[in-house]
Structure 1
Amino acid sequence: MIPEIAAAVPASLGTYRAGVAAGPGGPAATPLTALHDPAVFDAALAAFEAGLGAAPGTTDRRALVSYWSQFYLAPLATPALTALVRLRRPLPLAFATTSLELDAAGRPARFLVEPEAAYRMPGRSAGLMGLVEDHLRPFVELCRARCGIAPRVIWGNAAVILDHVARELGEPETLACPEVAACLGWCGGAPCAGNPLAQALCAAGGSRRRRVCCLRRRLPGVASCGALCPAGRCRG
């Protein structure tokens, strides 16, 4: 973990406090770019599928990738957004330079960034849109390439998780970061107008809901996302 960022993570998000660390990691750390190799990606997905108790190759692959992406995005979003909102400090999480450690069940557990870059203050333009362009877009494209999943499904997963983290950090604190608030669709903002995070959620019954199903309900033994599910009609 990066101590000063971990210390700023709310207790409610403590599970992912150590989701980003500075250092090369252990022998199991895999550069994210290696996931472009189908064999590497499929090995991670097979371990995840087995961890769900499913027989190899028996689950809907798009649903499996979508569900895996939710485990991927949570440890990424928690430190990244905490650093932005509470410390005004973007983390150097470009897909091309970040590595990943998986747990024994094939779930993403920790992202590793270059130690020198982790403590260097990036330019002020590198806010949440920096994470969107430098990390989330390549990740969404990776998922699409590996299973044919519609990009808007993965963008929806990212939006839900980032929105949740932002609300746990506190609405006043998040709104005090206009670029972050605009990216999440909490308010207007020209720099982030039309970005895929803001478009992924909609107002419904006084809360926010996905526009597109995340498909996890197709996996045996996995519950739906409840009130977030777009079974009801979104407005706006």
Structure 2
Amino acid sequence: MFARFFHDRLDFAADALCRAAEAAGGPIIEGHALVSGEALDTVLRRYAEAHGIADRRAAASDWSKFFFARLIIPALVIQCSSGQRLDLDPASWGAYCREEGTIAHFVFDADPLGPPAPGDASSLVDAVMTPIVTALATDCGLSPRVFASNAAVYYVWALDQLGAQAQITPAQLAPARALLDASTRPDGGRNPFHAALQAAGSGRARRRTGASVPPAVGSAARSVG
């Protein structure tokens, strides 16, 4: 569906957002049930058991890294490459999970690409990130900033990969890069990427790019196929 946008170290995520997929060995969960927290116990228990993690907080933080890697990286690649808005309304997709509870595919009922809207992160932040960060924090008692910081790592890494590949122009990347330094989005909405990078130290987060592969990306890449 979007494979034409994915190259080199990003090609592992080419089928993460799709219109059809086979079951990946685990449950298929409606998007709303996942981001609202209703189905979190299902995936977190599976992840903790598969990896021998007794601490619910550790399991939730680790699982979130796989979730954000599987969603944010392809969403950013698709939006920057197409210059179009990506509608991530959880009512329009289902999560096809692996046996261990991580997400293999976000399967959409219809094409999620919308009108031109370079760098528009409103759907990603408002429809998915905000509710699932809240649900994860409520479930395990960790600060929402922990999960927002996990998400920001993959946003920065994907941007740097796109810049290094030079498949698209700096101008196409500029609206997405602007979110690293702005406390609010162009539409006035909240920007959790900026707050998370400020809290963690943007230099440290940015150093986890380039040759360094962030947690979950390497594992996700190895699981393809």
**TM-score with structure 2 setting the length:** 0.75
Q: 2:13 aligns with which of 13, 16, 37?
A: 16
Q: Give the drift of 1:37.
A: 5.9
* Structure 1: runs of 5 or more not aligned: 211-223, 226-236
Q: Give the drift of 1:28.
A: 3.7
Does the CA contact (< 8 Å) of 2:163 and 2:173 recur in 1? no
Does the CA contact (< 8 Å) of 2:79 and 2:119 recur in 1? no
Q: Which residue of 1 aligns with 2:130?
A: 137
Q: Give the drift of 1:174.
A: 5.3
Rg bigger for which structure? Answer: 1
Could you tell me how far apart the structure 2 residues matched to 1:126 and 1:167 are?
Answer: 15
| Residues 27-106 of structure 1: pairs in structure 2 closer than 5 A | 28-35=27-34, 36=36, 38=38, 40-52=39-51, 54=52, 59-106=54-101
Task: Decide whether aligned partners of structure 1 residues 51 and 170 sit closer, same or farther in structure 2, where only a CA change above 3 A counts.
Answer: same
Could you tell me how far apart the structure 1 residues matched to 2:126 and 2:170 are?
Answer: 20
Does the CA contact (< 8 Å) of 1:166 and 1:174 recur in 2? no
Q: Which residue of 2 aligns with 1:208?
A: 206
Q: Give the drift of 1:74.
A: 1.1
Q: Which residue of 2 aligns with 1:196?
A: 192
Q: Which deviations, in whole Å up to 9, do the C-alpha atoms of 1:131-178 show, x marking residues without a partner?
A: 111211111111122212211111101110011011101167455344
Q: Give the drift of 1:100.
A: 0.4
Q: 2:151 aligns with which of 145, 148, 158?
A: 158
**Equivalent residue of 2:84, what SS?**
coil
Task: Decide whether aligned partners of structure 1 residues 125 and 17 sit closer, same or farther in structure 2, where only a CA change above 3 A counts.
Answer: closer
1:176 is the counterpart of 2:175? no
Could you tell me how far apart the structure 2 residues matched to 1:162 and 1:170 are?
Answer: 12
Bigger relative contact order (CA 8 A; separation at least 6): 2
Share of identical aligned residues, percent?
A: 25
**RMSD value, Cα:** 3.1
AA at the equivalent of 2:40: F
Q: Give the drift of 1:125.
A: 7.9
Query: How many residues were matched structurally?
Result: 200
AA at the equivalent of 2:162: L
Q: Give the drift of 1:196.
A: 1.5
Does the CA contact (< 8 Å) of 1:31 and 1:100 recur in 2? yes
Task: Decide whether aligned partners of structure 1 residues 145 and 156 sit closer, same or farther in structure 2, where only a CA change above 3 A counts.
Answer: same
Could you tell me how far apart the structure 1 residues matched to 2:174 and 2:115 are?
Answer: 18
Could you tell me how far apart the structure 1 residues matched to 2:43 and 2:175 are?
Answer: 34
**Equivalent residue of 2:107, what SS?**
strand
